[in-house]
Structure 1
Amino acid sequence: MGRQLTNIRFAICGPANLDVSHIKAPADLAGLPTVLCSPMLTWSLQHIHSGEKQAYTATGNIRLKVDDMSLLTEVIAGGIGVGFIPDYHAQPLLESGKIQHILPDWSNQARGCEMLYRDRENIPYRVRLFIDFMLQRFQGDDGVM
């Protein structure tokens, strides 16, 4: 069984002190210090209002490659460079001012986040409680920053 919980979007974020006033489109990201996270080496972007799609691949000034989203988020907050991070990692740091949202009108297409479990019959009570908790936690969450 699968139950849809939320949609996950990724955001282009950078250190709070980085001057990004000249960044107006994804191509303007070229040359900025960048942190990449495998396997998302190419950022599939879509403009939220126009629907225009672009793919951005950093080719120069790559400061670090990681394979962990938490580490990616920490090094961006630490000032290493810009990166493409999930909204659930970005939101608390954006609210606290530790990072900034770059090109807020550009994001990835929403990815569904589902909870999977074996079946509806004979579910242990603790699993049923967990399913109910998760459904309540994500109720009405559209995953948009």
Structure 2
Amino acid sequence: METLANLESFVRSAESGSFSAAARRLSLTPGAISRNVAYLERNLGVQLFQRSTRGLALTESGERFLQSVQGGLDSIQGAIADVMVNAGQPAGMLKVSAPLSFGMEFLLPLMPAFLERYPAVTTDWHFDNRPVDFIADGYDAAFGAGFELPPGMKARELARVHLIAVATPAFLHGKRRPKDPSELAELAGVVMRSADNNRAITWVMRNRSGTEVAAVQKPVMIVNAPDAVCCATLQGLGVGLVAVPHAAPHLESGALERLLPDWHSDVGPISLYFSSQKLLPPKTRAFVDFIIEGLRAQKLAEVLAVKQSTD
């Protein structure tokens, strides 16, 4: 009978395509993972992986075996979780990734209460606006948008992010106001750069009747962070498409004015990513539950939505 360690080493290596990534996920060494898989191959009498300098690839036998055991492994771990999770106390290092502005504004304010409730947990935060390699980098949880969901992971949508067109009164003085997003091309713009291809992003804006128009801007400055778009727009450099919570206080103070009040851009959801396995470490389960509850109390979905702006 194969040990659970051998089966788990095989399944996690197959999911991540790497002994090293599986080792980080299971808190073992790459050598231990490799040995466990080798023992499994020897006992079965088949080769499960093709190994190369570029990584691992399942053989035909490996593909069949993975399909046979993957669900069973999760069921076994779920049974163990029923016994352990409720008894175990959240503890240890919790590695988390989040976009800088989102993390600073919405997540870090929740941490004093979280750490007071779970004093044995240490949170290791990594702030980055780009999607991370969740498994290879050993994250317990990550926040963001546009992640390629790897096997064994799930995404919990938290809210949708809306952008609105804003500029300073000084910049707009004497200029003709655009009537629809296509006319933004007539004004200087502060534009966001895509992390995927380093090109300026053209957002699509939508009005209340559902009509969609591309907001093609004339860049005077290109930046790589959403909060930088807001900051540069506040300097009077041009029109910026700014996230609602960033723009709201400046609209209230009069530092910014909203253009195209009937239009906004829905840039998609921001989600919480974590393992889909039933056997989550107590620290991860406690963090996920606490964050979801805390953001719901903050009414995050309403805060990020266009209805929070001053129409």
Q: TM-score, normalised by structure 2?
A: 0.41
- RCO comparison, higher one (Cα < 8 Å, 6+): 1
Q: Note if 1:24 corresponds to 2:185.
A: no
Between Structure 1 and Structure 2, the one with more helix by share is 2
Q: Which runs of 5+ in 2 are unaligned?
A: 1-153, 195-199, 307-311
Look up the SS of the partner of 1:30 in the other structure: helix
Query: What letter matches 1:13 in structure 2?
Result: V
Is the contact between residue 6 and residue 138 of structure 1 (CA under 8 Å) also seen in structure 2? no
Query: What letter matches 1:133 in structure 2?
Result: F
Look up the SS of the partner of 2:187 in the other structure: coil
Is the contact between residue 184 and residue 216 of structure 2 (CA under 8 Å) also seen in structure 1? no
Q: Note if 1:3 corresponds to 2:156.
A: yes
Select between 31-40 and 133-142 the one with higher mean Cα deviation: 133-142
Q: Note if 1:54 corresponds to 2:207.
A: no
Distance 1:63 1:76 in 2: 11
Q: What's the CA shift for 1:21?
A: 6.3
Distance 1:81 1:108 in 2: 18
Q: Provide closer, same or farther for how the CA distance between residues 136 and 91 of structure 1 changes in structure 2, counting only shifts above 3 A.
A: farther
Pick from 20, 32, 43: which aligns with 2:203? 43
Query: What letter matches 2:249 in structure 1?
Result: P
Give me the identity figure in percent: 25
Q: Provide closer, same or farther for how the CA distance between residues 137 and 102 of structure 1 changes in structure 2, counting only shifts above 3 A.
A: farther
Computing the radius of gyration over CA atoms, which structure comes out larger, 1 or 2?
2
Q: What's the CA shift for 1:110?
A: 5.1
Between Structure 1 and Structure 2, the one with more strand by share is 1
CA distances 1:93-125 after superposition (whole Å, capped 9, x unpaired): 323332222112111235111100013534344
Alignment of 1:105-116 (within 5 A): 105-109=262-266, 111-116=268-273
Q: What's the counterpart of residue 240 of structure 2?
A: 83
Query: What letter matches 1:27 in structure 2?
Result: S
Distance 1:27 1:122 in 2: 50
Distance 1:120 1:89 in 2: 36
Q: What's the CA shift for 1:33?
A: 1.9
CA distances 1:43-70 after superposition (whole Å, capped 9, x unpaired): 21111x21111112124xx321111212
Q: Provide closer, same or farther for how the CA distance between residues 134 and 97 of structure 1 changes in structure 2, counting only shifts above 3 A.
A: farther
Q: Provide closer, same or farther for how the CA distance between residues 125 and 99 of structure 1 changes in structure 2, counting only shifts above 3 A.
A: farther
Look up the SS of the partner of 1:129 in the other structure: helix
Q: What's the CA shift for 1:129?
A: 3.4
Distance 2:253 2:272 in 1: 29
